[in-house]
Amino acid sequence: MTSGGDAAGMNPAIKCTVDYSRMLGYKPYLVHNGLRGLIDDNIEAAKSSDVSGILHRGGTILRSSRSKRFFEYEHRQQAYENLQKHGISKLIVIGGDGSFRALNQFYSDFKVPFAGIPATIDNDIPGTDYCLGVDTALNMIRQNVDSIRDTASSFSRAFVIETMGRHCGYLAMASAVTSGAEVCLVPELEYDLEAIQRRLQKDIDNGRQFLIAIVAEGCQMGDYLTRWIKDKLKMDARLTILGHIQRGGSPTVRDRLMAFKFGIAAVDSLHRGETNKIMVYKSGSYSTVPIHELTGQTAGIDPILIEICKPLCR
């Protein structure tokens, strides 16, 4: 099943888990519509045709949802009875930390083991350096920033570009570095607008004709920074909020490969008899981590990336 926000790489992970679990002798099922589908019995046995030709597709063919009903015991019990009816004894959930916590509560109630595959463009799941969908989202941002740079240089304008990520600035940081942005504001780093003004004004005096600023949505600084550039630097400035375009697109090669590696690891975890583990990729190695070890933690960002971004904040 897929749950929470959609992310490129979910479909390759679906295909991998179906095909690999069948190789090990299991009978795989598909849950449509996320947590809501568990409650409403949108469950069917997986056919080969269901997962054929989906590797290149963004989003999730199983669709997703966020269900408030799943917080209520009676609805979780209904979900459990639906699984029992189909003879389903193990679950794989492809999603974010909210989905993992929901399934962990489900395990506490009914002892249905699950394996979690991290999939969120925010890259904010603690314990793993990478989540499915991140590379595709970064490439979507790169493509759009490159296009905006063309018009910025043509009209001698400043563009403030707001990226998604909730309270995590990873997308903004990685995009700012790889697109050559002049400014980057993220929740993880303190910024000094006066220092930024001095730096940019010096560049403008030396001939700079345009600039790109990338702001994480968690800063809530997009509108303000756009007005600030107009007032302080006397440059025509426009705000572009990329929004949900960052979620779409055909999965990159990296996201497809990561989906297969995570998918195989998830099936193997359940096959070994593990109960509530999350698949993680840390420092170049793949492993599993119990969900309780991640509860209450916050995701860290590569300290090298943070150091690279600091000059863009001042």
- Domains annotated for the chain, with CATH where assigned, are 10-133+251-298 (3.40.50.450), 136-247 (3.40.50.460)
Other beta carbons within 10 angstroms of residue 232's beta carbon come to 14
Residue type, 168: C
Residue-wise pLDDT for 149-170, tens only, equals: 999 999 999 999 999 998 999 9
Q: Name the pLDDT band for 300 (thresholds 50, 70, 90).
A: confident
* Phi/psi at 198 (5° precision): -60, -45
At residue 67 the predicted structure's pLDDT band, cuts being 50, 70 and 90, is confident
Rg (CA), the chain: 22
The catalytic residue positions are: 122
pLDDT in tens, 166-177: 899 999 999 999
Q: In sequence order, which residues have a C-beta less than 8 Å from that of residue 111 and are 6 or more positions away? A: 275
pLDDT confidence of 214, banded at 50, 70, 90? Answer: very high
- Closest Cα partner for 123 from 314, 304, 301? 301
**What per-residue confidence (pLDDT) applies to 298?**
83
Assess whether pLDDT exceeds 80 at residue 116: yes
DSSP H or E run through 161: strand 158-163
Cα torsion through 238, 192, 175, 215, rounded to 10:
-40
Residue 222 one-letter amino acid: G
Contact 291, 100 (CB under 8 A): yes
27: number of CA atoms within 13 Å, CB side?
Answer: 7
Handedness of CA 274, 281, 214, 57 (dihedral sign): negative
Which H/E stretch holds residue 263? helix 253-271
